[in-house]
């Protein structure tokens, strides 16, 4: 399997080379403050080749095998909510998305444009995830005497969450499909990184202190992708 194309993104906040794999290829995040040569970047990519190919293959398989079926019901285990999706076709070129207090998502317009419908549903998913995840994250931080900077919610492929050296936390919107105890585990995991960035002994000691079921939850999280419906992957 050949290496996917990559792009470079220079970051003021990054302190070391980082990788992100998506449907568009590989993004290499380069610390702006450090002088990193092209040779060093190429060596880094070669060192991480096995990891890149593994995740790139996963992305490719999803694209090839997944027949995206737009949902009629959306179940969020994290907050024990069910939303109904209503599709109303109209003779217009675009699609717009609205919601109401009855937990209905209404897609109105050219609903034959599946790509656009999917895009709107994922945008809505990120929005509602930000609304739901920020409160428990702040509550857990306050409860355990931890603090974080900004919260960002993204639609990521390989990670449930991440925490930068500036204590900004990024969470995957697909967490809403997971059971509450696994969501709590992910939130605590990222909050622990505000104290210990690496996954060393100190980190796991802290996480196990805050989450006594850490090892069990960590094991279950490896298969948590099964909770995510095809349209949201």
- Is pTM beyond 0.75 here? no
Say what the pLDDT of residue 114 is: 87
177-209 pLDDT tens trace: 999 999 999 999 999 999 998 888 999 999 999
Mean pLDDT of 78-89: 95
- Residues 6 or more apart in contact with residue 79 via CB below 8 angstroms: 132, 176, 180
Average pLDDT of the chain is 89
Given a cut of 90, is residue 135 above it in pLDDT? yes
Q: What percent of the chain has pLDDT over 90?
A: 58
Say what the pLDDT of residue 173 is: 96
What is the dihedral sign for C-alpha 35, 37, 43, 45? positive
Say what the pLDDT of residue 15 is: 83
Say what the pLDDT of residue 210 is: 96
Mean pLDDT of 167-174: 94
Q: Which two tokens stand for residue 101?
A: 């207090």
pLDDT band at 140 (very low <50, low <70, confident <90, very high): very high
Lowest mean pLDDT among 22-26, 73-77, 125-129: 22-26
Contact 140, 191 (CB under 8 A): yes
pLDDT band at 71 (very low <50, low <70, confident <90, very high): very high
Given a cut of 80, is residue 102 above it in pLDDT? yes
Instruction: Output 164 or 203, whichever has higher pLDDT.
Output: 203
Lowest mean pLDDT among 70-79, 102-111, 155-164: 155-164
Q: What is the DSSP string of 98-167?
A: EEETTTEEEEEE-TT-HHHHHHHHHHHHHHHHHHHHHHHHHHHHHHTT---S-EEEE--SS-SEEE-TT-
**Domain 73-232, second-level architecture:** 2-Layer Sandwich (3.30)
Domain ranges of the chain: 6-65, 73-232
Q: Which two tokens stand for residue 193?
A: 């990184």
Mean pLDDT of 96-125: 93
Q: State the Cα–Cα distance between residues 68 and 74, nearest whole angstrom.
A: 14
Given a cut of 80, is residue 23 above it in pLDDT? no
């Amino acid at each position: 399997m050949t290496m996917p194309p990559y792009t470079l993104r220079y970051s003021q906040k990054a302190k070391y080379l980082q990788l992100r794999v998506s449907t568009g290829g590989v993004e290499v995040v380069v610390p702006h403050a450090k002088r990193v040569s092209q040779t060093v970047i190429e060596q880094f990519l070669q060192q991480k080749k096995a990891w890149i190919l593994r995740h790139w293959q996963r992305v490719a398989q999803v694209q090839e095998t997944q027949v995206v079926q737009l949902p009629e019901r959306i179940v969020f285990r994290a907050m024990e909510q069910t939303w109904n999706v209503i599709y109303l076709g109209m003779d217009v070129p675009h699609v717009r998305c609205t919601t109401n207090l009855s937990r209905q998502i209404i897609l109105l317009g050219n609903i034959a444009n599946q790509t656009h419908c999917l895009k709107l549903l994922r945008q809505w998913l990120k929005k509602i995830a930000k609304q739901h995840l920020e409160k428990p994250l702040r509550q857990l931080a306050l409860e355990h005497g931890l603090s974080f900077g900004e919260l960002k919610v993204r639609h990521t492929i390989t990670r449930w969450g991440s925490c930068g050296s500036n204590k900004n936390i990024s969470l995957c919107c697909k967490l809403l499909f997971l059971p509450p105890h696994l969501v709590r585990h992910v939130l605590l995991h990222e909050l622990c990184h505000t104290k210990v960035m690496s996954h060393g002994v100190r980190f796991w000691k802290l996480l196990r202190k805050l989450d006594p079921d850490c090892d069990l939850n960590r094991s279950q999280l490896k298969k948590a992708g099964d909770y995510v419906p095809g349209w949201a992957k």
